[in-house]
């Protein structure tokens, strides 16, 4: 099972935000723009619904988003990265997960559109990271 | 075998997020390099943010160019999407949480591009 684990299946997306509403909203927007074919999991807020991040929600999100093509994770702010990294240290499928350094909303939309077009995990993460350089005006 | 191809269309509506997404998803399924030009600016058609950044509006003339093995098919598919998706009501917003209303017609995701998509 370790030879080519990411060669099949679509890439899934996990949105890790300090706010559950922000993660849900970004997931909804990305799904609409990309046509609704990509698995996008919102992992926002703490376990008791406060502002913050939850290792349990991130871990659940990773397994829900994985369908054979790997998972790209987008954190909203730097401290969400700490939670994701802590989860990945113990997570079984961490070699199929890429953490993207990208603006949250633009990155989520760009990553999801690339995943919907059949891009592999590297292309999806690259699309998210390129979002940093695309001007809106 | 490589080829290049180009075609223009006048938009029936603004190039908002959903049509830009449909365009970029379709463009991403072709091997050819595909670009969209409007108002003197050119964007990679596979970049949804780039396409949205063009700010193309109703009545504006948009040019689609492609270079590569499936350039002709790519241009035809994207022109069809631009024609449909920017019509008023062309891509209806879906109910919250539902599956977006586009993707049903063969125009949105042409059969040949679906066949070429990785499985």
Return the pLDDT at B91.
55
Mutation target among B15, B25, B114 for the A interface, most CBs of A within 10 A: B25
Number of compact structural domains in chain A: 1
Residue A5 included in any domain: no
Q: Domain B3-90, what architecture?
A: 2-Layer Sandwich (3.30)
DSSP A10: P
Q: Which domain holds residue A33?
A: 12-133
Please count the residue pairs, one from chain A and one from chain B, whose beta carbons lie less than 8 angstroms apart: 75
Interchain CB distance below 8 Å, B47 and A134? yes
Where are chain B's structural domains? 3-90
DSSP B95: P
Is the pLDDT confidence value at A7 over 50?
A: no
* Rounded Cα gap, residues B61 and B39, in angstroms: 8
ipTM: 0.89
**How does pLDDT run across A89-136, given as a tens digit for each residue?**
999 888 999 999 999 999 999 999 999 999 999 999 999 999 999 988
In B68-87, the residues whose Cβ lies within 8 Å of chain A are none
A 10 A CB-CB count for B88 gives 8
Sign of the CA dihedral running A5, A9, A10, A16? negative
Interchain CB distance below 8 Å, B49 and A110? yes
Q: Which residue of A has its CA nearest to B53?
A: A136
Tokens of A106: 């633009």
Residue A7 included in any domain: no
Identify the CA nearest to A100 among candidates A11, A38, A37: A11
Is the pLDDT confidence value at B17 over 70?
A: yes
């Amino acid at each position: 099972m370790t030879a080519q684990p990411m060669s099949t299946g679509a890439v899934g997306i996990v949105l890790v935000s300090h706010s559950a509403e922000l993660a849900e909203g970004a997931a909804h927007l990305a799904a609409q723009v990309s046509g609704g074919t990509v698995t996008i999991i919102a992992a926002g807020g703490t376990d008791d619904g406060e502002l913050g991040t939850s290792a349990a929600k991130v871990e659940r999100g990773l397994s829900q988003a994985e369908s054979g093509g790997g998972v790209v994770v987008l954190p909203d702010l730097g401290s969400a990265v700490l939670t994701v990294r802590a989860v990945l240290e113990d997570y079984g499928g961490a070699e199929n997960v890429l953490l993207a350094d990208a603006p949250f909303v633009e990155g989520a939309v760009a990553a999801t559109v690339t995943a919907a077009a059949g891009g592999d995990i590297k292309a999806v993460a690259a699309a998210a990271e390129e979002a940093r350089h695309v001007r809106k005006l | 075998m490589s080829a290049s191809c180009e075609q223009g269309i006048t938009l029936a509506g603004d190039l908002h997020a959903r049509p830009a997404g449909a365009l970029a998803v379709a463009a991403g399924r072709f091997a050819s390099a595909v670009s969209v030009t409007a108002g003197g600016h050119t964007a990679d058609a596979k970049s949804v943010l780039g396409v949205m950044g063009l700010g193309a509006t109703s009545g504006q003339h948009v040019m689609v160019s492609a270079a590569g093995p499936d350039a002709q098919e790519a241009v035809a598919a994207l022109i069809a999407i631009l024609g449909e998706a920017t019509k008023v009501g062309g891509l209806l917003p879906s109910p919250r949480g539902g599956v977006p209303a586009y993707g049903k017609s063969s125009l949105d995701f042409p059969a040949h591009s679906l066949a070429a998509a990785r499985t």
